[in-house]
Structure 1
Amino acid sequence: MTELKKMNKEFENNNVRGPINSWFFYTISGYMDVLWGKSKKELFQDHSGTVVEIGPGAGANMRYLKRGTKLIAIEPNIHMHKNLRKTAKKYGIHLYIKSITGETIDLPDSSVDFVMSTLVLCTVDNPLQCVNQIKRILKPTGQFVFIEHVKARENSILGFIQNLIHKPWHWFFEGCHTNRDTASLLESAGFSSIVMDKYNHYSPFIPIIPQIRGRAVK
């Protein structure tokens, strides 16, 4: 298949998956609050007046931000934008959407105090490049807070399920890797300090167990 055909095929697929995923994540935002709300409140409680979010999707994290917060949303899926705006209006967030990927952030060096991502580093094409971009835009002592699902232990039942379902999951959820070792990536990314909690938070979304949550400082 030529590169042009691949691009056309991906465009067609995204026109199918994009609207479905936008509806899906907007619809389950309340359930996601049940699953991860406590962790998010703790991680986001001291956020600055301007926040950069990598892959905000339909805006599930806005409920944890202070009213009046300026949110710079790095969201390449244009099908998410309508629900992003709807959610921002609901929670009083000043929203600025950038239709770019986490690997190509166009913000200046050392320009923001607070970057966050939840269940996103699994989907980017080049996670190391994305993390390097996050470090680049953070001010000295700026914080990156995260909740991510990660690769399960080798030869475990969870690992078997992750590998078994990876291909269909990867296609439907627009590039999500069920078995990416994001924990090791963050630990070796060169942050001045990182606090990370590794845990199993069980839910019907079995392929995205286990998870990590934490805070990294530039």
Structure 2
Amino acid sequence: MSTVFKNNIILGPINSWMFKMLSGYMDHLFGNSKRELFKNHPQTVVEIGPGAGANMRYFKKGTHLIAIEPNVHMHKNLKKSADKYGIELEIKTLVGESIDLPSNSCDFVVCTLVLCSVADPNQCIDQIKRILKPSGKFVFIEHVKANENSVLAFIQNIIHKPWHWFFEGCNTNRDTKVLLERAGFNSLHIESYHLYSPFIPITPQIKGEAIK
């Protein structure tokens, strides 16, 4: 039995429960940013890594949500969240690097605190670009690598391995801002800021939108 498979069996249910329990706190941390980023979203939304459905509270009732969620242990809570918020849910058990939607087919893609954990973030971003229609919008919130030689960068590097194992591949020190800048979107707006919470390794954050 592979390490990845064993970790999925052990940590998948734990993380599903934990994400559900943290939903209210995450709303406190990110709610205002998400409401601003998601406003005026279209009828159909594609979300990469929706987890237990924390973002559904920000979508309009009746939204068709295509959820790209590889962790099957999240699916039960995803369905409960969809029922609670009146979301028409379609789950695809796929990773963000391999999305089976047609090219140029989506108007709006959401990804929050996920690019830190995908195995190949460049490929995931390429897939997002591929499925977006011309002028389609990708909105994101991500924690990012701290400034080189800072105390926070030292903490990120020290804690990276246990954090990576427990949080299903999350990287404390991934330079996602640079990856997005190099992705070749027609327009890109990124706001860098610091989020103060008990989760010290993920203090440096970015949020914004990209247009294909």
Instruction: Say if 2:50 is the partner of 1:23.
Output: no
1:41-80 equivalence runs, <5 A: 41-80=35-74
**Aligned-pair CA distance for 1:178:** 0.2
- Cα distance in 2 for partners of 1:158, 1:165 equals 11
Q: Secondary structure at the match of 1:132?
A: helix
List gaps (5 residues or longer) in structure 2. Answer: none
List gaps (5 residues or longer) in structure 1. Answer: none
Instruction: Say if 2:208 is the partner of 1:214.
Output: yes
- Which residue does 1:186 correspond to in 2? 180
Q: Secondary structure at the match of 2:54?
A: coil
Q: Secondary structure at the match of 1:134?
A: helix
Instruction: Say if 2:27 is the partner of 1:38.
Output: no
Residue type of the alignment partner of 2:133: K
- 4+ runs deviating over 3 angstroms: none
- Cα distance in 1 for partners of 2:40, 2:180 equals 21
Taking structure 1 as the reference length, the TM-score comes to 0.96
- Which residue does 2:189 correspond to in 1? 195
**Aligned-pair CA distance for 1:9:** 2.5
1:169-184 equivalence runs, <5 A: 169-184=163-178
**Per-residue displacement from partner, 1:63-86 (whole Å, max 9, x unpaired)?**
000000000000000000000000
- Which residue does 1:112 correspond to in 2? 106
Residue of structure 1 aligned with 2:118, choices 106, 120, 124: 124
**Percent identity over paired residues:** 69
The Cα RMSD (Å) is 0.6
Taking structure 2 as the reference length, the TM-score comes to 0.99
- Cα distance in 1 for partners of 2:98, 2:140 equals 19
- Cα distance in 1 for partners of 2:84, 2:47 equals 18
